[in-house]
Structures are given as structure tokens and as C-alpha cells.
């Protein structure tokens, strides 16, 4: 038997193989590298990776057919080739012939069964890993060369190469010591690669639950998958280097992939017994189909080129090419988003980065002189170490790229954003009260909105000026909310309002205004009656100036109306035309006395059976993901949500947040709420992933809601929670800034969704509390090599304190400027099924039987400088009191409310991206070097809130909103307007 070590073979390839064969090998290397880079560049964005079973089946089918066709046709002339069908057999389709031959296991060697088990098992394990990707460890694939080296050492065998005509005799080298040295270098390189990925990871804070849960076994599944990959590569390499005919090896591998696809298809069909699995397995979007086809072709190309290379190179080299390419693509991602400059500015990150490149060079060169001692004595030092030199040059080039191409520099701060926000806010506030008289207000209204003000505008103006409203002219929110309703007939709006109130099971409360008097619809659950009582109190001071109307108020937290973009654009276009016709009218009329048809009233006297009525226009979508059904259709076809899937709920999608971020901080608060460019948020917010109560509609019903997502069409109105002062500062207990504790404070419940099937692990509030518990983590402590004493980093001043009582607060002093984290859930978890409730309790409280921290007096908030406001099931009712407290509010939210246009990010509060990647950068700056700016923002927020967010300001907004709505539902609305 001819024996030669692989590295010696690399050196003699060019001299021993025929020129055409040499070109094929070089081409295979290039194709392998390019296809691998292509696949990894799409790893986070492709829907194919979200469906590993579909992905694997299609890839295996492509591989099986391609390999079998290659063996059957391209190698027909080889003497050792044995066709699966005799030459005299009738012609069959290649597909039928190959599928039939794939199951003739008696003629297949024992290695076939081993390979089949490995391929199917690694696919199932990969599927399990993808389902709980946030519990996985990144970078383990870098240990593949090490495992292959160990595999060879355990076998204690020489490396056999194919017995082609251009082979030559070589020295057998099977000494374990040479392999051990290579394995040691490969191990250190794998550690450096994994450590680099760990140091540079940008996570969403997704939680791997504590306790005895299957999610905790995901790293073990990854290690087993890696071992199976090593076994597959080793076995395939043995087949390719076999002395038997190569066509048989190609046919065997083709049959392997086809059989693997058949097994996976059977498993998928078996799992489809469950209805949810059936829907997932069968009903694919066109986006998913396109990604599956493209990526399956790319992976097929990489697999076939790798199999070809295994006939000439050892598996360690092929695996090194694979892992090095994937790491290079990853580094490019992290360089462009500014992560690597932070990693490599730390000494340990720089050390691991240098070894990542140098180790790869050593591994490529190791066989020549370090392990197998094949160097020529005539070679100089530089020539003998050229691979290490190449690696060093590569690192210097990449490091230079990092310095010159990374956005934001080494330590960006929000200082420039704060300065810009201050000037923009001042301009807005000045323009908001530009008018000093009724005549000026009417003129400004026409100039801004292109139509005359509604009837009784003078009564609104008198009311607004009587309460010293700081805003007279700027009510863009109202006009934006109502524009699509201008595209709907008034009679249709009235009918749809009646439909809402005729179906109290939709959780709608009604306000009926008739002749200046207000009544509340009778069909309201007692737990929600207070909302309508408070709303009635809000409207009563100006009800006499409102036309007759009926209003449907959403009593649930979640918003309700999501209209597909094409229909919404049609509504808006027709609305603009209707407003255009109104703008040309010279003679304007007051509100009409009657409408045809008039407002329905029969439902007001209906008995309790009305609760059994079900609306065909609304559907139940509680406890299930709503993103792709209710968000994506509201976005343009070219929007990211309709172009790719960011399925990895662990990795932060920086390209998704880039449109509203600058240097790592939110620079456009309005845009940050638009979900069309943020496909990753499908998994990062409880309302989008598993809402507690969701009954939406695709039809434009006039629903008034306290808050809504950007992509919904509910009409915003001032919240009864805030108008009723459910949460306020008692007796003006506000504490001066210099007497507050320099601490981050939050207490609350996990109310942002219903936890089922582990959904809570990526909820906003859960991620925040978990991040707070990990606040002391520094860049060195994240490293695998944390036996070295960590250095101070960006969070070194944070002392994580989860306190369930005020004992700590009583002893802390305001002059201590160390930034303290005081964050915790309170009470038991109840919006969850039993399994998830237990998992949450263990994760956040330590054990299933641990007593949860009790709720503290809400007034405790005012003792802390940094207050965090987070979305719950909808908006948080705490924000307005936070603004008035002279503490600094930080807000992470997707839900928008009536006051969004008048409260300004970085001027009155600190905006946070809901991924929370900017959280510690913001609090570290504003709790340290930016403390003066934090004080300024807190004071500006308090002063403006006391001017523009009073109960009177809510009534001013509501009065104007209902005047506009009264015109909209009037049959003569295109003739209505205020006249002196």
C-alpha cells in the first residue's frame, strides 16, 4: 500500500499531478472558499437557517442527485466503475434510478450505516440547537481541526492518500508525537477563535433558563454535533482515499445523501401529526422558499467541493479552510459594525486576535517543519516561516481596516446627539405656540394642514388658552392618525363604530355623546368600567361643543387595527383627495344636526346575550407570534421585514437598528418604533411574540386606543390611567437631583406577554432584568481564559445590587457616585403556563420555592437618579410621573402614545433601543462623565411635563381630537369648517 503524509503530499501536488488535475484542485479550493463565505454571509438573514429540517432535506437531495449523476456519467469510463443499472437495462430517469439504488443497503459497506447515522443525528441536533439558539455557545466549530487531529491520533494510523497514477512513494509517519503537536496548536487556535467570538458577540440578552431544563443541554448538543462532523469528514476522507474505484465512492456518497433526505422527510411527516408542526412544515412563504433554494445550492456546492478536496488533502486542512473562512466573514461583520475596535482596544482581545491569525498560519505551515520536519535545509528563515509571516500581514491589514472603517471610534458618547436634540426641541416648542390670537391660529392651521379648522374651533381655542396650553398649533399626531379615515365614507365609519359596540366580546367600551350629554355603553366588564368613567370625566367640560357621536374605546392593552399597506395607501390617497376638495370650499358649514343613516341605538337595550355575539372581522391571536401576519403586510415590499428573516434571537441585528442609531445610541426616536426595518424584533418583544390578549383586524375600524405599535392604525387618545392619576408623585415628594442616589432603579412584573413554550426568554422586561443581574460582567470576564485577573472595562464601576428591601437604600449616600444597579421583578409570575412560570421563578429568584421580592412603595422611585421605563403589554403608565420626578427617565418602548410629538428624546428623556444594546453605554456616560447633562435632561423633562402633560393638556388634546372626529363622521364633512 502506498503511504504518504498529507502535508508532504501538499508540497508535491504541483510537481506530481497533471496540470489539468492541478487546475481542478485549485478551482475546488476557490469554489469551496467562496461558497462557504457566501453561506456564512447569509447566516443571520436567511430564512433557510430558521428551518434546518427543510434546509437539510433540500441540500441532501441536491447533493445526492449531483454526486450520483457525476458518478454515473462523468466517470463512466473508469474501469472500476460499476453502474447501478446494467447497460442493457431499459432507460430510466436518473432520479428514479438513484432513489431505488439508495436503499440497496446489502451492497453498501458498513461505513454507510455509520455515515447515515452521523448525518441524520447531526441534523436533528442542529435543529434542536437552532430552536434554542440563545443557549448555544458561539465558535465551537473552530475546534473541528483539533477533533480531526485527535481522531487520527486515536486511530494511530498513517495518513493514506489516493492511489492515483500520479502518486509517489513517501515516508509513513504515524508517530503520535507529531499529531500531538499539531493537535495542541489546533486546540489553542480553537480557544482563540471561540474567545474572539465570545468577546465580540453583540447579544440581545436572550435568557437561557436556569434549572433542569433541556435548553441547558444545548452546548452538549453542539459538542456532539461537532464530533459527528469530525466523524463524517474522517469517513468521507477515507472513502475518497480508498484504493478502490472512485466512482463507487461518489455513488456511495450520493446514496448516503439521498437516504438521509428520505429519513428526514419521514421524520418531518411524522411530526406533522401536530397541527402547529403541519403548518410550519407545509405553509412556507415565498421568501422562505427562495432562501431555501439559494442557500441549499450554495451549501451543496460547498459540500461537493469539500468532498472532492478530501481526495487530495487531509480532513484537518479542509476543516481549517472551512472554519477560517467562516471566521473571516464574521470578523468583517464585526469590523463594519464597530465591535472589533472595542475588542481589540483591550489587551486581551488583541492577544486573542493576533493568535487567531498566527495560529491559522502555523496550522497551514505546521506540517512542513514543526510536526513532520519536511523543510528543505536550503530554505531561509523567512521562507520556512512564510505562512506565519502571511498570517501576521493579514492581521495587520485587518487591524488597519478595523481602525479606519469602524463607525464611532473607540468610545463614542451621546454628547453630539444630545446637543442636536436640544436645538431641535427648542425649535419645535417655539413653533408649537406660534399663534397669539384666534385669527393667527386659524391661519396657521390652514397653512400647516391645508384645510380649514373644524367647526367650534374658537371654543377649542378659548379652552386651550384658558388653561395656558403651551401647544396651540402643532397637532400633527391627530392629523396623521385620522388621515386614512378621511378615505372612508362617514356612513361606513358610523356603521363600523356601531359594529364594535354591538360586540362587547371584542372588549370595547362606548362613549355616547348626544345633545352635549355623555353616556357610557352598558356592556362593559366591571374591571374595565373605570376607564370609561375617567374618559367621561375627561370629556365632560367641553362636551357641549361636540356634535352627536359614538366612540369605541379599546379596553385591552394591545392595539387592534393593522391594515395591509396597499389598502392603507389607498385610504390615505382618497383621504388627501377628500381634504383637497374641502380646502377649495369657500362657504363653510357648522356640524350637521342629523346623519343618514343615524347612529344606531338598538344595542344599548340588548340583554346579556349580546356577549355571545362574535365579530367576523376580528380574529383571536393571543399567545402566538403576530409579526409576520400583522406587521409585515403593513410594510413596503422592499422593506427588510419582507426581504429577510433575522431568526437568531440571540444575536443583536445591528443592521436592523442602524437606520435609527448613530454611534451606538438612538438618534431617531420616531423611526425606532417603525418595525418595517427591524425583522429581528419578531422575537424580542412580548406583544410581538406571545401577546396575552390579542384580537386584531385587517379592516379599518375606528378604534380609539391608549397606545399602539407604529404599524397599527388605532387612533391615539390620552390614557385614562394618566388622566385618572393612577400613579403620581404624592404631595410633590420630588427630591432634588443632588440628593438622589446615583442608581439605576426598576421594579415591576413580567407583563409584556404570555409566557408559553419558553417565549419569556426574549421578552423585553425579562431581558432587562437578566442584563441588570449580569451588569458586573467585563470584557475579560466574558473570556474563556478568565483565570487571568480581569481588568476594568466599561462596566467596572457598576455594582450590581438586586435588593428586595430598602435596607440598602437607607445606608447609601447621595455623594457616592458609583453607579448602582437596583433592579428586580416583584411578586409571582402569573402570565405563563406552569412550566414557564416555574422556569421564570427559578431563573430570577433562585429556586422554585424562593419567596419573591415584595412590592415596594412606588414613591421609592424618586430617590434614584436613573429610572427605567419599559413596555408592558402596551405602554407603561409610569413614564409621565417619571418625567415629573426630576429623575432621569430612560425609555425602551415600541408602543407610542398621544404625547410622542411633544416629548423629545435626549431633551426630556433618554431613549433606548429595545434590544438594550445601548443601555450600559448610556447609563455609564450619564451616570459618570455626563452627569451634568443627565441633570439637565432630568430638569428639562420635569419643567416641560409640568407645562405640557397636565390633565388640562390631555383635555386640550382630546377636545381637538373629537372636533376633528366629529367632522369626519359627518355626511357633509367636505363642507364643514370654522368661520368667524
Pairwise CA distance, residues 767 & 208, whole Å: 10
285: CB partners within 8 A, 6+ apart: 47, 628
What pLDDT, on a 0 to 100 scale, did the predictor assign at position 163?
46
* 170 confidence band (pLDDT: 50, 70, 90): very low
Angle (CA) 830-831-832 rounded to 5° is: 90
Distances (CA, A) of 533 to 343, 498, 603: 56, 20, 20
Pairwise CA distance, residues 940 & 953, whole Å: 18
Mean pLDDT along residues 539-543: 97
Phi-psi region of 205 (alpha: psi -120 to 50; beta: other; left: phi over 0): left
Q: How many CB atoms lie within 10 A of CB 152?
A: 22
SS (H, E, C) 351-378: HHHHHHHHHHHHHHHHHHHCCCCCCCCC
C-alpha cell at 552: 369605541
Pairwise CA distance, residues 247 & 251, whole Å: 6
pLDDT digits (tens, 9 = 90+) for 508-529: 999 999 999 999 999 998 889 9
Pairwise CA distance, residues 115 & 138, whole Å: 26
What pLDDT, on a 0 to 100 scale, did the predictor assign at position 157?
53
Q: Which residues pair with 868 in a beta bridge?
A: 890
| Range from 205-219, 244-258, 748-762 carrying the lowest mean pLDDT | 244-258
Pairwise CA distance, residues 927 & 911, whole Å: 15
Which residue would you say has higher pLDDT here, 815 or 305? 305
C-alpha cell at 415: 454628547
- Is the pTM here over 0.85, yes or no? yes
C-alpha cell at 175: 508517530
- What is the end-to-end Cα distance of the chain in Å, rounded? 107
| Range from 376-380, 483-487, 605-609, 762-766 carrying the lowest mean pLDDT | 376-380
Mean pLDDT along residues 313-336: 89
What kind and span of H or E run contains 742? Answer: strand 741-748
pLDDT at 799 over 70: no
What pLDDT, on a 0 to 100 scale, did the predictor assign at position 727?
80
Q: How many CB atoms lie within 10 A of CB 732?
A: 7
pLDDT at 279 over 50: yes
pLDDT digits (tens, 9 = 90+) for 870-892: 999 999 889 999 999 999 999 99
Q: Are 127 and 53 in contact (CB under 8 A)?
A: yes
Burial (0-12, 13-18, 19+ Cβ within 10 Å), 470:
middle
Distances (CA, A) of 351 to 354, 366, 413: 5, 21, 26
Question: What is the overall mean pLDDT for the chain?
Answer: 85
What pLDDT, on a 0 to 100 scale, did the predictor assign at position 596?
86
- Which DSSP string corresponds to 375-412? --TTS-HHHHTHHHHHHHHHHHHHHHHHHHH-TT-SS-
Q: What count of Cα atoms within 13 Å lies in the side-chain half-sphere of residue 782?
A: 27
Give the three-class secondary structure for 637.
coil
What pLDDT, on a 0 to 100 scale, did the predictor assign at position 361?
84
pLDDT digits (tens, 9 = 90+) for 224-255: 999 999 999 999 988 888 755 567 788 889 99
C-alpha cell at 980: 368667524
Q: Are 722 and 954 in contact (CB under 8 A)?
A: yes
Which residue would you say has higher pLDDT here, 134 or 179? 134
What pLDDT, on a 0 to 100 scale, did the predictor assign at position 803?
43
C-alpha cell at 99: 432513489
Place of cell 437607607: 810
Give the three-class secondary structure for 527.
helix
Mean pLDDT along residues 26-38: 93
Most confident segment among 17-21, 325-329, 567-571: 567-571
Q: Which residues pair with 909 in a beta bridge?
A: 905
pLDDT at 631 over 70: yes
The candidate with the shortest Cα–Cα distance to 898, out of 841, 962, 967, is: 962
pLDDT digits (tens, 9 = 90+) for 773-793: 887 544 334 555 543 433 333
* 299 confidence band (pLDDT: 50, 70, 90): very high
Q: What count of Cα atoms within 13 Å lies in the side-chain half-sphere of residue 623?
A: 9
pLDDT digits (tens, 9 = 90+) for 587-623: 999 999 888 888 999 999 899 899 999 999 999 999 9
* 375 confidence band (pLDDT: 50, 70, 90): very low
The candidate with the shortest Cα–Cα distance to 933, out of 914, 949, 910, is: 910
Q: Are 161 and 9 in contact (CB under 8 A)?
A: yes
The candidate with the shortest Cα–Cα distance to 272, out of 590, 440, 54, is: 54
Q: Are 532 and 849 in contact (CB under 8 A)?
A: no
pLDDT at 4 over 50: no
Give the three-class secondary structure for 251.
helix
CA quadruple 808, 810, 813, 814: dihedral positive or negative?
positive
Most confident segment among 140-154, 531-545, 797-811: 531-545
Which residue would you say has higher pLDDT here, 815 or 190? 190
pLDDT at 12 over 60: no
pLDDT at 88 over 90: no
pLDDT at 115 over 70: yes
User: Which percentage of the chain shows pLDDT scores above 90?
Assistant: 63
Pairwise CA distance, residues 591 & 371, whole Å: 93
What pLDDT, on a 0 to 100 scale, did the predictor assign at position 273?
82
* 369 confidence band (pLDDT: 50, 70, 90): very low
What is the biggest distance separating any 2 CA atoms in the chain, rounded to whole angstroms?
A: 107
Most confident segment among 533-537, 730-734, 920-924: 533-537
Amino acid at each position: 500500500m502506498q503511504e504518504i503524509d498529507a502535508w508532504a503530499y501538499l508540497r508535491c501536488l504541483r510537481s506530481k499531478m497533471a496540470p489539468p488535475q492541478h487546475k481542478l484542485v485549485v478551482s475546488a479550493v476557490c469554489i469551496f472558499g467562496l461558497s462557504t463565505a457566501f453561506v456564512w454571509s447569509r447566516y443571520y438573514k436567511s430564512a433557510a437557517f430558521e428551518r434546518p429540517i427543510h434546509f437539510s432535506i433540500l441540500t441532501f437531495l441536491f447533493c445526492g442527485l449531483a454526486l450520483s449523476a457525476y458518478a454515473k456519467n462523468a466517470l463512466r469510463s473508469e474501469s472500476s466503475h460499476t453502474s447501478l443499472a446494467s447497460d442493457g437495462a431499459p432507460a430510466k430517469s436518473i432520479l428514479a434510478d438513484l432513489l431505488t439504488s439508495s436503499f440497496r443497503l446489502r451492497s453498501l459497506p458498513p461505513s454507510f450505516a455509520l455515515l447515515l447515522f452521523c448525518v441524520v443525528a447531526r441534523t436533528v441536533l442542529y435543529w434542536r440547537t437552532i430552536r434554542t439558539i440563545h443557549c448555544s455557545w458561539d465558535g465551537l466549530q473552530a475546534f473541528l481541526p483539533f477533533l480531526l487531529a485527535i481522531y487520527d491520533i486515536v486511530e494511530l494510523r498513517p495518513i493514506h492518500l489516493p492511489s492515483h497514477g500520479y502518486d509517489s512513494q513517501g515516508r509513513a509517519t504515524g508517530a503520535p508525537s507529531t499529531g500531538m503537536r499539531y493537535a495542541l496548536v489546533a486546540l489553542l487556535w480553537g480557544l482563540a477563535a471561540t474567545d474572539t467570538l465570545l468577546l465580540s458577540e453583540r447579544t440581545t440578552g436572550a435568557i437561557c433558563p436556569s434549572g433542569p431544563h433541556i435548553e441547558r443541554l444545548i452546548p452538549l448538543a453542539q459538542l456532539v454535533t461537532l464530533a459527528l462532523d469530525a466523524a463524517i469528514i474522517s469517513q468521507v476522507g477515507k472513502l475518497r482515499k480508498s484504493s478502490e474505484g472512485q466512482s463507487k465512492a461518489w455513488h456511495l456518497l450520493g446514496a448516503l445523501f439521498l437516504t438521509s433526505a428520505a429519513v428526514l422527510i419521514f421524520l418531518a411527516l411524522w411530526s406533522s401529526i401536530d397541527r402547529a408542526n403541519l403548518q410550519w412544515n407545509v405553509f412556507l412563504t415565498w421568501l422562505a422558499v427562495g432562501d431555501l433554494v439559494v442557500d441549499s445550492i450554495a451549501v451543496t456546492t460547498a459540500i461537493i467541493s469539500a468532498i472532492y478536496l478530501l481526495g487530495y488533502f487531509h480532513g484537518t486542512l479542509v476543516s481549517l479552510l472551512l472554519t477560517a473562512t467562516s471566521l473571516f466573514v464574521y470578523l468583517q461583520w464585526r469590523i463594519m459594525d464597530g465591535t472589533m475596535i472595542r475588542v481589540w482596544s483591550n489587551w486581551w482581545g488583541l492577544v486573542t486576535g493576533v493568535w487567531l491569525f498566527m495560529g491559522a498560519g502555523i496550522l497551514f505551515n505546521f506540517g512542513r517543519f514543526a510536526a513532520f520536519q519536511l523543510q528543505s535545509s536550503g530554505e531561509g528563515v523567512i521562507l520556512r516561516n512564510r505562512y506565519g509571516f502571511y498570517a501576521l500581514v493579514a492581521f495587520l491589514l485587518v487591524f488597519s481596516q478595523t481602525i479606519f472603517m469602524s463607525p464611532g471610534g473607540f468610545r463614542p458618547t451621546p454628547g453630539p446627539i444630545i446637543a442636536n436634540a436640544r436645538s431641535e426641541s427648542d425649535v419645535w416648542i417655539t413653533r408649537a405656540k406660534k399663534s397669539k390670537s384666534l385669527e393667527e391660529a386659524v391661519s396657521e392651521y390652514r397653512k400647516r394642514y391645508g384645510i380649514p379648522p373644524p367647526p367650534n374651533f374658537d371654543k377649542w381655542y378659548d379652552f386651550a388658552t384658558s388653561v395656558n396650553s403651551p401647544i396651540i398649533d402643532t397637532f400633527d399626531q391627530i392629523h396623521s392618525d385620522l388621515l386614512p379615515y378621511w378615505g372612508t365614507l362617514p356612513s361606513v365609519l358610523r356603521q363600523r363604530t356601531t359594529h364594535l359596540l354591538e360586540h362587547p366580546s371584542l372588549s370595547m367600551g362606548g362613549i355616547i355623546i348626544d345633545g352635549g350629554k355623555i353616556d357610557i355603553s352598558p356592556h362593559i366588564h366591571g374591571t374595565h368600567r373605570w376607564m370609561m368613567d375617567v374618559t367621561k370625566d375627561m370629556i365632560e367640560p367641553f362636551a357641549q361643543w361636540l356634535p352627536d357621536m359614538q366612540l369605541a374605546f379599546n379596553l385591552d392593552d394591545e392595539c387592534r387595527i393593522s391594515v395591509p399597506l396597499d389598502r392603507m395607501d389607498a385610504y390615505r390617497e382618497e383621504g388627501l383627495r377628500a381634504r383637497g376638495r374641502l380646502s377649495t370650499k369657500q362657504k363653510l358649514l357648522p356640524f350637521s344636526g342629523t346623519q343618514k343613516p343615524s347612529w344606531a341605538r338598538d344595542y344599548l337595550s340588548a340583554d346579556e346575550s349580546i356577549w355571545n355575539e362574535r365579530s367576523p372581522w376580528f380574529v383571536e391571536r393571543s399567545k402566538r407570534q403576530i409579526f409576520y401576519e400583522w406587521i409585515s403586510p403593513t410594510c413596503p415590499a422592499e422593506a427588510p421585514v419582507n426581504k429577510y428573516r433575522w431568526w437568531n434571537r440571540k444575536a443583536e441585528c445591528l443592521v436592523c437598528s442602524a437606520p435609527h442609531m448613530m454611534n451606538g445610541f438612538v438618534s431617531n426616536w420616531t423611526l425606532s418604533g417603525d418595525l418595517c426595518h427591524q425583522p429581528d424584533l419578531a422575537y424580542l418583544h412580548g406583544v410581538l411574540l406571545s401577546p396575552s390578549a390579542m384580537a386584531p383586524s385587517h379592516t379599518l375600524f375606528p378604534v380609539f386606543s391608549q397606545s399602539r405599535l407604529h404599524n397599527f392604525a388605532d387612533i391615539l387618545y390620552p390614557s385614562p390611567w394618566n388622566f385618572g392619576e393612577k400613579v403620581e408623585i404624592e404631595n410633590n415628594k420630588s427630591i432634588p437631583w443632588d440628593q438622589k442616589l446615583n442608581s439605576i432603579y426598576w421594579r415591576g412584573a413580567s407583563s409584556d406577554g404570555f409566557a408559553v413554550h419558553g417565549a419569556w426568554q426574549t421578552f423585553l422586561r425579562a431581558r432587562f432584568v437578566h442584563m441588570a443581574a449580569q451588569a458586573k460582567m467585563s470584557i475579560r470576564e466574558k473570556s474563556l481564559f478568565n483565570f487571568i485577573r480581569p481588568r476594568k472595562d466599561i462596566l467596572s464601576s457598576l455594582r450590581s445590587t438586586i435588593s428586595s428591601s430598602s435596607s440598602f437604600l437607607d445606608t447609601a449616600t447621595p455623594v457616592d457616585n458609583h453607579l448602582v444597579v437596583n433592579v428586580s421583578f416583584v411578586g409571582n409570575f402569573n402570565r405563563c403556563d406552569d412550566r414557564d412560570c416555574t422556569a421564570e421563578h427559578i431563573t430570577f429568584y433562585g429556586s422554585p420555592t424562593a419567596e419573591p421580592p415584595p412590592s415596594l412603595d412606588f414613591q421609592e422611585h424618586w430617590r434614584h437618579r436613573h429610572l427605567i421605563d419599559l413596555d408592558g403589554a402596551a405602554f407603561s403608565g409610569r413614564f409621565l410621573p417619571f418625567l415629573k420626578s426630576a429623575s432621569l427617565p430612560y425609555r425602551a418602548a415600541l408602543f407610542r402614545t398621544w404625547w410622542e410629538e411633544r416629548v423629545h428624546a435626549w431633551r426630556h428623556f433618554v431613549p433606548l433601543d429595545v434590544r438594550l444594546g445601548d443601555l450600559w453605554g448610556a447609563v455609564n456616560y450619564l451616570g459618570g462623565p455626563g452627569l451634568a447633562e443627565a441633570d439637565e435632561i432630568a430638569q428639562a423633562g420635569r419643567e416641560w411635563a409640568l407645562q405640557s402633560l397636565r390633565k388640562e393638556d390631555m383635555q386640550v388634546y382630546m377636545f381637538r381630537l373629537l372636533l376633528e372626529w366629529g367632522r369626519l363622521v359627518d355626511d357633509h364633512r367636505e363642507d364643514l369648517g370654522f368661520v368667524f
